[in-house]
Structure 1
Amino acid sequence: MAAAATQGRWLRGRVKAVPSGDTLVIMGMAKADIPPEKMVTLASVIAPRLARRDGVDEPFAWESREFLRKLCIGKEVTFLSHASPPTQSGMQREFATVLLGGSTAQNVSKLVVAQGWAKVKEQKSESKEDVAELLRLEEQAKEQGLGKWSKVPGASDAAIRNLPPSAIGGYSGFDAFDFATRNKGRSIQAIVEQVRDGSAIRVYLLPEFQFVQVFVAGVQSPSMGRRAVSENIAQVDGSSDKPNGASKAEPHGQPTSAQKVASGPTTVEVAPDPFGREAKHFTELRTLHRDVRFLPETGDRFNNLTGSIYYDDAGEVKNLALELAKNGLAKYVEWSGKMLEEKDKRELKAAELEAKKNRMRMWTNYVPPVTNSKPIHDQNFTGKVVEVVSGDCIIVADDAVPSGSQLAERRVNLSSIRCPKMGNPRTGEGRENYAREAKEFLRQKLIGRQVNVCMEYSRKIPVGDNTNPGAVTADSKVIDFGSVFLPPQAKGEGVVSSVPSTTGGQPAGSNVAEMLVVRGYADAVKHRDFEERSSYYDALLAAESKAIANRKGKHSSSEPPAYHIQDLTTASAKKTKDFLPFLQRSRRMPAVVDYVLSGHRFKLVIPKETCSIAFSLSGVRCPGRGEPYSEEAIALMRRRILQRDVEIEVETVDRNGTFLGSLWESRTNMGAVLLQAGLAKFQASFGADRIADSHLLAQAEESAKRQKLKIWENYVEGQEVANGSAVAESRKKEVLKVVVTEVLGGGKFYVQTVGDKMVASIQQQLASLDIGEAPVLGSFNPKKGDLVLAQFSADNSWNRAMIVNVPRGGIAQSQKDEFEVFYIDYGNQELLPYSRLRPVPPSVHSAPGSAQLCSLAFLKVPSLEEDYGQEAAEYFSELTLSSSPEFNAVIEERDTSGGKAKGQGTGTVLLVSLVNEGTSSNISAAMLTAGLARLEKRRRWDTKERKAAFDELEEFQQEAKTSRSGMWQYGDIQSDDEDSAPSTRKPAGKR
């Protein structure tokens, strides 16, 4: 508002600041982020001057300013500007008549003079009547001894403030560290004299009048830049020529050279950051020349203080940092935020996140960072901890899911923490320090205990060679994260979560993640913005700070405790036999069940003897893997004894190095538990006299027989059935109707299930796609493991494929650069140029590949590099691909040693017998008859069923030998180790 434009008419405004006893800063009433403002001096009066820099107040200067400040600050006024001549320095001050209040408006000049806080100074622009009234009021104040006219002896000297050396100027006499330490947590009264930017202010600390710069803890507002000046920047009082400050700190609270007090002139000018002015104006409106409460947290070596500022807003106390963050005028900063209480930190982070989501002010153009996590809602459950996988991962049996269901056990990774890795001996990855201690701590605290689980988010984790975390590939897996709580009634469980009750669906009790972190067994994960995290993340950060301060666990300077366990499960049979006397020294010894290998066979750790052993229950045998009820037996043992403290009694060791004996958990014989549930058979031939509690085992089996439980469901009393044979013979094999899509050689091939609706749907969607031009280089950069659309070179059809290898350099430099792709729905593989690749549509992205890798059961087929390998592959292709016949694939076995599918020739393999549905011809028999395959005898005698299949196929192999077909052209080929077992058939010509 220019002076010439406003003279002669009354204006309305609100008092924003009161620099002295006769000066006001009035801002307009316009609805704008930053309304116009002007500084006016009360007409016809002059108040005592406040000290400038390191000067001295005039008597009663502070009291005069305080009277006017309390009278006018934040209130609406009406004012009329008067013309005034320039001063000798050329500056033109604007004088005004200011009226306070509504219909009963009062002249502010008269109020000040009447209380004796200013004297009258006659000006030409004032009417004689107004001056006369002011003079009358002045005389009245003098007579009454009011304000500066006090008649009390020594009052004038006493009304001069004794100002200490300024902290801003860097003078001695004030130690910010010492001050913050002595007053930490104490609320100190202060008056804000200047606002440097939204989160940096200069205050008088009362009653000592120490003038200090304060950084608002936990937040940083946009900078106000740096002005072009020709003198030192630092100011030391509230009447500076540059009340807004001139220095810039980057980052907030880390002083620049300007904050250290410039030792000479500077001419550098930096414009304010976006929304810097708005943030400064926001803080001025609420704190400038107002009473606030300051809670110091710390100081720095430049004598700046950091702490919280609280101000009054219509009777409500508000936190300046929180209000700035809510309104998008400041961001949370960790360096000072960590000093605050957990509740305050949590509120600040939540306010910043909400401002980002709403894109308020400084977050207008905010783009959330890419994250591969997503929240999980409505998946809270209770259950019993079945297994501790590692220090930050457990398996919980969901109470709401039947125990026989595949979803009965849920893997839960603890949210927002990371424990040391357990390592993997198979890959050569070593165990990190305190990994065992973290896992053991969880085992002792949680195993078999009822817990409350709050699922919070899931994250896509790349594995293998996949480096693109955002791609949904066969190499990616989704991991679920949640917070786990022990019930509140549990005593002595360590740290109690900050959640006091179960209100809002959040369980109370001991937060397991917090228990780990506070003991130094885990670190809190440093999350990125917008990344999902634990609902109790602030408590985890506080626990981590406590662990670091107390040097707990991995934060300790000492070496972790040594842990040496001799693994006898991989040792030779002789070594295990040598160890037997040590395990028989005491009848019963404590052990920990490390793994359930089958219903009756386990891996145990024996701490007393510092060894781990393979252990089997004497005289108790459960169905083998793949047989009915075998999984139930394993599930029962997992629930009852996995990772529990048990007692064992070792009787002997077998020729494979497995120790035999009895096992008790809580004084309950686990062999009897299996037998009573109908999940095992008692083998008395083992030597009942040597088996502990043999009478209990026999009684348990008889009970299951009477009730016809599980494996005894078809039991007829008096009819003996060989152990395991009834179960094995009754098993029905799975049969798939398939077509062969690709032959790899070595007896391996890919099939596609006939009539699969998913396959038909994918093919229909791909056929209807409108494939555009080849993408521009750089806009589409497929990486190894990514799923893409690829144009098959044989028929130019578009199919789903996985990138197996990329061009040299990682990305395509031209449209002709070739990528190696694997067609996940057919099993074939080829090299394609970049121009034949497209991004895969979301509609067909997530469906698993349709091609299934198979191998001929019971046969050993030469690989392509071996003799007759090429001939075998070509002959197999003729039998399966020439007329695209349909086959019945009888699944004999599943080989999962290859892991998840990652490309051609890897992944789970189905060992099948392939029978042509039209001609009923057996492909295995045809391969044997042609002398292009031979029987694999290694597991011939596993079961009667397998032996019968071998005997049937051996006739076709014998036919090839007799006719010298294929590989038998020069007689019997040299047998390998697998053929060293004796033949079950007599040689030809012998009786």
Structure 2
Amino acid sequence: IYLNSTKSQQQPLKTLKEVLSGCAIIVRGQPRGGPPPERQINLSNIRAGALARRAAQGQPESKDTPDEPWAFQAREFLRKKLIGKEVCFTVEYKNMHREYGMVYLGKDTTGENIAESLVSEGLATVRREGFRGNNPEQARLCDLEDQSKASKKGLWSEGGGAQTIRNIKYTIENPRNFVDSLHQKPINAIIEHVRDGSVVRALLLPDYYLVTVMLSGVKCPTFKREADGTETPEPFAAEARFFTESRLLQRDVQIILESCPNQIILGTILHPNGNITELLLKEGFARCVDWSMAVYTQGAEKLRAAERSAKERKVRIWKDYVAPTANLDQKDRQFVAKVMQVVNADAMVVKLNSGEYKTIHLSSIRPPRNEGEEKNKDKDKRFRPLYDIPYMFEAREFLRKKLIGKKVRTTESHTNTPCVNQNEYLLSALVSKGLATVIRYRQDDDQRSSHYDELLAAEARAIKNGKGLHSKKEVPIHRVADISGETQKAKQFLPFLQRAGRSEAVVEYVFSGSRLKLYMPKETCLITFLLAGIECPRSSRNTPGGMQVAEPFSDEAMLFTKELVLQREVEVEVESMDKAGNFIGWLHIEGVNLSVALVENALSKVHFTAERSAYYKTLVAAEEGCRQRKEKIWANYEEKPVEEVVHLSEEKERVANYKPVYVTEITDTLHFYAQDVETGSQLESLMETMRAEIAAQPPVEGSYSPRRGDYCIAKFADGEWYRARVEKVESPAKVHVFYIDYGNREVVSSTRLAPIPPAFSTRTLPVQATEYTFAFIQVPQDEDARADVVDCVVRDIQNTQCLLNVEYSGATCPHVTIQFGDTKEDVGLGLVKEGLVMVDVRKEKHLQKMVTEYLNSQESAKSARLNIWRYGDFRADDADEFGYSR
């Protein structure tokens, strides 16, 4: 029915918004203060195939209808030609609220006639019913149709066009697997519908999946559906939808499908003109959302920056935004500190450069915790959350091994975020292992970690991989026996710990300078450990008679021990146990004996029980030096009256008590190992007896599983068995051992190791190789210069009997002078005379005679221009060459 038989005038210029089919389009005007008006125009006099339609939801009788042949190709022809372009049109007539007319590409009717283009390509048919011969436009359409039929184009081609019908897939059977299978690679797509600014309907090519995609990391204002079916837009919802429609609707794009939580597909839409996600944020049409930010693959910091820009400009949804006031001056927000203790997975104690201790809490993460934790704590006074709460111990251990004793750069705001360096954020690693979760903040809360998005991404990985707290497997249980103060249990453990020799441990707590709580990982127990051989100042404590005042320097001793060993991995030698069930022994950390270190720093005295230990001489020498200098606990020490020691005046200058030793090994650092000649026969006898027993009952090859710190026997290159200690286990084929009676080291296979027979343990005969280093000389740090010195010493004294005298103690071993067995010449002094080393000047009064002799020899070498003195005066650049300090 023609309501208006005459052609109307040309309509104002419009922009094509959407192609509904091959013969229907939607045009829109220019936006003025909001989304512009839209009109649907149907092309008159032609008909194109109908596109596929999905069955109506909730209507069982409704069914999916497929494409008609060439329908999608007609739609695509118009989409690619017209979308986003300016068109003009004329309305010829209206029928049932539909407008029919002619559409032209361009600014006026002289442009390309779209209906004619469709017909000429064989993508539409002409409506010949009601044909009027006096209508030139209808006549031209009929001529074009006849030409396309003759050319067999489109609809008129052979075969009927069945190959042009799409197989559209409206649902995905397993969307999560589908998204994962794409490996976050960009796939081509056409945006078919925009629900709101951040949710679109996309046709994935080439397989024709029609999916709903929500933009990762953002959320736009939405349209709320009321009970009566009407939609109420939130503020700026319509503007946000128009912003996305005008840029993406029916455009060719690429989509990165990033995740599929709860059947919702999250993705990022990439267009040649930009990333719509960032544009929405920058223009104030969207806000960042944490829950989906974790999967955004294009750089979450870009989204945060775009949102921040919109907030600063207070545009659209941020028009009422008020920025939070900073509570810290920017220049004071970063500092470098040393990690002294990891309290928990979200807190640690650090030491500032000023010496101040500070507890910092890690921002935006929550450590593992147990429901009803406080309730359980009230019921059980021995509650140990570190071991009882799943994954709390693993979280603490992860941070402890990575951070303890390390310097970290800490950024402080309302919370603190430590990181080891600029590229490795341990918090992300902690969260990605499922050992902590990320705190969720209110939408308007900006007080979060500067690496919050990295944490969210790490948590997403942990959830996806089922790590730690997100695992569906059975949680780990740590059955730790706390035998502190349990005398009966301690008695059961004592023989085992004594036989083990050096055992691995972690210092969990420091009660005082010499009293510690240790965690024994191999034995899975907690013990109280007292340092042997020393008498340390006692801290204040409650006694039956009241509070006992702390002894002088007790706090300094405790602080010294804390800084050296708290939460460090150490080795302990258990010797005995006291009446209260506390173990007594020696603690070593990186070659340092803690008892010796306390005495050297004048924070402890030597106890008479040390006389039977191998460390007695070292302890006495260290104590003597501190006593002479009147340091700390020796500050008020008074020497005996002069008249009582007149007859000892010569001895007071220097004790020369040379003993015969046999030098067995010399290291690259110019330390050497020597055996006491007096016990040499005992060692030989023990070796003969042990080898005879082994020959009679050979150990089963491969039956021994070495552990670090174990004493064992090892087969050397000469095919003989020797006593050894395991220092490191890389693999069964690479076990680092130290031959305790000779001082040399070797990497062997575990098949060359066996348990040490009890009759030949260190309790039967102590370790025979003792470590020493030369007194009064500086060892060059330059490798070549040091190698020359080592070669000279090896040539002179290795595998020979010499005379040795302890001069003073050192951090790791005694410093000694050593003489040739026949000529009694000082080996170290000879090195100085040859110009191979420099003199280490000591300030102790009783050593000044020796120091003077060494300095005179150094001057002689300098005058003769020997080796390092070949330039005459020893200049600063020479010091650099030979590795000496200036």
TM-score above 0.5: yes
1:455 aligns with 2:455: no
Residue in structure 2 matching 1:693, options 588, 591, 615: 615
Kept in 1: contact 2:120–2:148 (CA 8 A): no
Letter of the 1:48 counterpart: A
> Which residue matches 1:291?
252
After TM superposition, give the deviation of residue 482 of structure 1 in Å.
1.4
Q: Structure 1's 552 and 705: CA in aligned 2 closer, same or farther, altered over 3 A?
A: same
Q: Structure 1's 123 and 359: CA in aligned 2 closer, same or farther, altered over 3 A?
A: farther
> Which residue matches 1:329?
285
Within-5 A mapping of 1:188-199: 188-199=187-198
Residue in structure 1 matching 2:557, options 629, 633, 636: 633
Kept in 2: contact 1:194–1:288 (CA 8 A): yes
> Which residue matches 1:167?
170
**Distance in structure 2 (CA, Å) of the matches to 1:357 and 1:415:** 24
After TM superposition, give the deviation of residue 103 of structure 1 in Å.
13
Indicate the SS of the match to 2:232.
Answer: coil
1:68 aligns with 2:62: no
> Which residue matches 1:949?
none
> Which residue matches 1:361?
316
Residue in structure 1 matching 2:143, options 136, 139, 155: 139
Within-5 A mapping of 1:233-244: none
Indicate the SS of the match to 2:557.
Answer: helix
Kept in 2: contact 1:14–1:27 (CA 8 A): yes
Letter of the 1:418 counterpart: P
- Output one character per residue of 1:250-294: Cα deviation in whole Å (capped at 9) or x when no partner: xxxxxxxxxxxxxxxxx6334333333223222221222222334
**Distance in structure 2 (CA, Å) of the matches to 1:584 and 1:149:** 96
Residue in structure 2 matching 1:392, options 335, 346, 354: 346
Residue in structure 2 matching 1:281, options 242, 245, 251: 242
**Distance in structure 1 (CA, Å) of the matches to 2:75 and 2:235:** 34
Residue in structure 2 matching 1:483, options 418, 427, 434: 418
Residue in structure 2 matching 1:668, options 592, 617, 642: 592
Q: Structure 1's 576 and 714: CA in aligned 2 closer, same or farther, altered over 3 A?
A: same
After TM superposition, give the deviation of residue 180 of structure 1 in Å.
5.2
Mind listing any 5+ residue stretches in structure 1 that lack a counterpart?
229-266, 459-479, 488-506, 721-991
Kept in 2: contact 1:584–1:649 (CA 8 A): yes
- Output one character per residue of 1:675-707: Cα deviation in whole Å (capped at 9) or x when no partner: 222333345xx3552454222122112222444
**Distance in structure 2 (CA, Å) of the matches to 1:298 and 1:549:** 10
The CA RMSD over aligned residues, in Å, is 4.9
Within-5 A mapping of 1:489-528: 507-509=422-424, 511-528=425-442
- Output one character per residue of 1:840-893: Cα deviation in whole Å (capped at 9) or x when no partner: xxxxxxxxxxxxxxxxxxxxxxxxxxxxxxxxxxxxxxxxxxxxxxxxxxxxxx
Residue in structure 1 matching 2:356, options 406, 428, 439: 406
Q: Structure 1's 32 and 106: CA in aligned 2 closer, same or farther, altered over 3 A?
A: farther
Kept in 1: contact 2:217–2:296 (CA 8 A): no
1:417 aligns with 2:380: no
Kept in 2: contact 1:619–1:691 (CA 8 A): no
More helix by share: 2
After TM superposition, give the deviation of residue 359 of structure 1 in Å.
5.2
Kept in 2: contact 1:624–1:630 (CA 8 A): yes
After TM superposition, give the deviation of residue 100 of structure 1 in Å.
0.7
Residue in structure 2 matching 1:595, options 497, 501, 509: 509
Indicate the SS of the match to 2:253.
Answer: strand
**Distance in structure 1 (CA, Å) of the matches to 2:489 and 2:283:** 72
**Distance in structure 2 (CA, Å) of the matches to 1:515 and 1:629:** 41
After TM superposition, give the deviation of residue 66 of structure 1 in Å.
2.7
Kept in 2: contact 1:100–1:108 (CA 8 A): no
Indicate the SS of the match to 1:271.
Answer: strand
Letter of the 1:534 counterpart: S
Letter of the 1:568 counterpart: S
Indicate the SS of the match to 1:268.
Answer: coil
Query: How many residues were matched structurally?
Result: 607
Mind listing any 5+ residue stretches in structure 2 that lack a counterpart?
54-63, 541-549, 643-886
Kept in 2: contact 1:651–1:690 (CA 8 A): no
Indicate the SS of the match to 2:602.
Answer: coil
Indicate the SS of the match to 1:289.
Answer: coil
1:20 aligns with 2:26: no
Letter of the 1:663 counterpart: L
Q: Structure 1's 24 and 427: CA in aligned 2 closer, same or farther, altered over 3 A?
A: same
**Distance in structure 1 (CA, Å) of the matches to 2:498 and 2:178:** 69
After TM superposition, give the deviation of residue 34 of structure 1 in Å.
0.8
Indicate the SS of the match to 1:387.
Answer: strand
Kept in 2: contact 1:296–1:305 (CA 8 A): no
After TM superposition, give the deviation of residue 612 of structure 1 in Å.
1.4
Letter of the 1:158 counterpart: G
**Distance in structure 2 (CA, Å) of the matches to 1:119 and 1:582:** 97
> Which residue matches 1:50?
50
Q: Structure 1's 702 and 585: CA in aligned 2 closer, same or farther, altered over 3 A?
A: same
Letter of the 2:514 counterpart: H
Q: Structure 1's 394 and 154: CA in aligned 2 closer, same or farther, altered over 3 A?
A: same
Kept in 2: contact 1:617–1:662 (CA 8 A): yes
**Distance in structure 2 (CA, Å) of the matches to 1:55 and 1:515:** 51
Indicate the SS of the match to 1:633.
Answer: helix
- Output one character per residue of 1:84-135: Cα deviation in whole Å (capped at 9) or x when no partner: 4442xx42515356451599955555655665656778999x998xx64785
**Distance in structure 1 (CA, Å) of the matches to 2:109 and 2:407:** 68
**Distance in structure 2 (CA, Å) of the matches to 1:132 and 1:396:** 90
Q: Structure 1's 717 and 415: CA in aligned 2 closer, same or farther, altered over 3 A?
A: farther
Kept in 2: contact 1:17–1:24 (CA 8 A): yes
**Distance in structure 2 (CA, Å) of the matches to 1:177 and 1:591:** 46
After TM superposition, give the deviation of residue 394 of structure 1 in Å.
2.5
**Distance in structure 2 (CA, Å) of the matches to 1:333 and 1:445:** 34
After TM superposition, give the deviation of residue 673 of structure 1 in Å.
1.7
Letter of the 2:411 counterpart: M
Indicate the SS of the match to 1:11.
Answer: coil
**Distance in structure 2 (CA, Å) of the matches to 1:590 and 1:673:** 19
Q: Structure 1's 701 and 514: CA in aligned 2 closer, same or farther, altered over 3 A?
A: same
Q: Structure 1's 715 and 284: CA in aligned 2 closer, same or farther, altered over 3 A?
A: same
1:154 aligns with 2:158: yes
> Which residue matches 2:657?
none
The TM-score normalised by the length of structure 1 is 0.52
> Which residue matches 2:625?
703
Indicate the SS of the match to 1:568.
Answer: coil
> Which residue matches 1:565?
481
Letter of the 1:406 counterpart: E
Kept in 2: contact 1:590–1:606 (CA 8 A): yes
**Distance in structure 2 (CA, Å) of the matches to 1:532 and 1:35:** 39
Indicate the SS of the match to 1:139.
Answer: helix
Kept in 2: contact 1:386–1:396 (CA 8 A): yes
Q: Structure 1's 373 and 533: CA in aligned 2 closer, same or farther, altered over 3 A?
A: farther
**Distance in structure 1 (CA, Å) of the matches to 2:150 and 2:180:** 41
After TM superposition, give the deviation of residue 192 of structure 1 in Å.
3.0
After TM superposition, give the deviation of residue 222 of structure 1 in Å.
3.5
After TM superposition, give the deviation of residue 640 of structure 1 in Å.
1.4
Letter of the 1:329 counterpart: F
The TM-score normalised by the length of structure 2 is 0.57
- Output one character per residue of 1:31-86: Cα deviation in whole Å (capped at 9) or x when no partner: 433122323345x6534243474557666444333333222211234x3644x444
**Distance in structure 1 (CA, Å) of the matches to 2:264 and 2:396:** 45
> Which residue matches 2:535?
620
Indicate the SS of the match to 1:674.
Answer: helix
- Output one character per residue of 1:361-382: Cα deviation in whole Å (capped at 9) or x when no partner: 34555789x9999898754444
After TM superposition, give the deviation of residue 311 of structure 1 in Å.
4.8
After TM superposition, give the deviation of residue 300 of structure 1 in Å.
10
> Which residue matches 1:310?
269
**Distance in structure 1 (CA, Å) of the matches to 2:196 and 2:521:** 63
- Output one character per residue of 1:447-475: Cα deviation in whole Å (capped at 9) or x when no partner: 654243332533xxxxxxxxxxxxxxxxx
Moved more, 137-146 or 519-528: 137-146
Identity of matched residues, %:
30
